[in-house]
């Protein structure tokens, strides 16, 4: 028999609604029908609640009746039974729930960020635009939060430098690029140097050179992209935003996409790509543009992946271009299907790259495409070309 009142302390708001409906209607089938939700979804919600309760030490079917405190997780139990099979004594062992601690900390970060962000005034739609052209602003491997020391790497790099440089680059790129109705902000991944409360690579847990705390780089990332998107809206009638998944920030790319989609949900001039798949596409007349960070597929063999994933778009277009990052150096390959370009980064080398001898140039490009003729121009800007950005 379900102990409704005891389970409520472990439930989310949505699970409490399901519990109350189950208590009122008696069966999952009747309760899910009353709430107008899929019966399987209703069942999964309850299963999740029972698992969470058991994790905290409440599972009456298995003689777990004494839940551990908030922020704790059941580690084990020892039970002493008498001769009749009744419980005589019970010992409960618990330990800190690291997953819950991390979740709570991230919730705190989100709440602080909400308080820190002041909505900007609506940007007036520009009157003079060229409907044939599209400007694609390509930024990759920016590694916000990375620390580099010029005596070791050739250039200094920290969060303050990174924020200032990005503002400066976009200001110059917007000024130099031609008028166009549409812009694509193509952030190709690894915008954040790391992806959580510990400054390590997500997959292999390699220690990274970090100059600040994760909460600060989250705040800076939101602030800088709010300003960049609003500046793009002053020049372009439509802005399509891609926050690509990278190998340094797979989780953060998710909240970047979802956050900016929500921030601009009432602005029809801004469209944020929300696909969870790390391959992205944008169609512009007879021109098709494809984007991928480069951590899953490399320049040599990615063209057929794009064609397979976006067969309809590729079939409708005459000129196709793919853009990638990841390896920080420039490479261009033209196949029978498309031109594939791997881009440099604006960021400094870190100690790992410098010590390994992987030295690359630093720049980023705004590439202009025509609906009728494919690529028709580009503006490439390196940090030395910018004035007063530091």
- pLDDT the model gives residue 324: 98
How many helices and strands in the chain, by DSSP H and E?
12, 13
Q: Kindly provide the b/e burial profile for residues 267-306, where b requires at least 16 CB atoms within 10 angstroms of the residue's own CB.
A: eeebbbbeeeebbbbbebbbbbbbbbbbbebbbeebbeeb
- pLDDT the model gives residue 112: 47
Structure tokens at 301: 């063999």
- pLDDT the model gives residue 115: 47
CA distances from 137 to 104, 233, 321 (A): 36, 13, 14
- pLDDT the model gives residue 88: 61
Largest CA distance in the chain: 89
- In angstroms, the CA 89 to CA 78 distance is 8
Closest CA to 148 of 353, 364, 361, 362: 353
pTM check: above 0.75: no
| pLDDT by 10-residue block (mean), the chain, 390 residues | 68 80 87 80 76 70 55 54 64 51 51 50 81 98 96 95 96 96 98 93 92 92 95 96 96 90 87 94 98 97 96 97 97 97 96 92 97 98 83
Contact (CB, 8 A) for 367 and 378: yes
Token match 């400054």: residue? 199
- pLDDT the model gives residue 81: 61
- pLDDT the model gives residue 61: 59
- pLDDT the model gives residue 281: 97
- Provide CATH code, domain 119-385: 3.60.21.10
């Amino acid at each position: 028999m379900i102990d409704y009142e005891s389970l409520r302390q472990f439930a989310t708001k949505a699970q409490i609604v399901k519990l109350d409906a189950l208590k009122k209607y008696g069966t999952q089938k009747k309760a899910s029908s009353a709430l107008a939700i899929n019966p399987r979804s209703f069942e999964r919600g309850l299963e999740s609640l029972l698992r969470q309760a058991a994790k905290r030490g409440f599972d009456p079917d298995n003689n777990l009746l004494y839940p551990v405190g908030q922020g704790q997780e059941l580690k084990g139990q020892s039970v002493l039974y008498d001769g009749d099979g009744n419980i005589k004594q019970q010992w409960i062992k618990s330990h800190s729930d690291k997953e819950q601690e991390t979740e709570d900390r991230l919730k705190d970060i989100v709440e602080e960020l909400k308080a820190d962000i002041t909505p900007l005034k609506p940007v007036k739609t520009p009157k003079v635009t060229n409907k044939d052209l599209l400007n694609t602003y390509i930024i990759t491997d920016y590694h916000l939060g990375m620390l580099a020391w010029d005596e070791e790497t050739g250039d200094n790099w920290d969060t303050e430098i990174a924020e200032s440089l990005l503002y400066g680059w976009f200001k110059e790129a917007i000024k130099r690029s031609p008028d166009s109705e549409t812009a694509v902000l193509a952030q190709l991944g690894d915008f954040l140097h790391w992806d959580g409360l510990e400054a390590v690579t997500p997959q292999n847990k390699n220690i990274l050179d970090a100059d600040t705390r994760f909460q600060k780089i989250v705040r800076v990332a939101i602030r800088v992209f709010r300003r960049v998107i609003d500046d793009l809206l002053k020049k372009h009638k439509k802005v399509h935003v891609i926050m690509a998944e990278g190998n340094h920030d797979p989780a953060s790319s998710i909240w970047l996409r979802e956050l900016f989609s929500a921030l601009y949900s009432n602005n029809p001039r801004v469209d944020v790509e929300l696909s969870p798949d790390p391959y992205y596409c944008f169609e512009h007349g007879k021109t098709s543009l494809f984007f991928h960070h480069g951590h899953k597929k490399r320049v040599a063999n990615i063209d057929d992946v794009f064609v397979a994933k976006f067969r309809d778009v590729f079939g409708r277009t005459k000129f196709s271009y793919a853009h990638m990052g990841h390896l920080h150096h420039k490479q261009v390959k033209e196949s029978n299907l498309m031109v594939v370009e791997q881009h440099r980064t604006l960021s400094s080398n870190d100690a790992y790259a410098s010590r390994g001898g992987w030295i690359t140039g630093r720049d980023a490009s705004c590439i202009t495409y025509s609906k009728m003729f494919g690529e028709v121009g580009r503006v490439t800007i390196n940090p030395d070309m910018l004035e007063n950005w530091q």
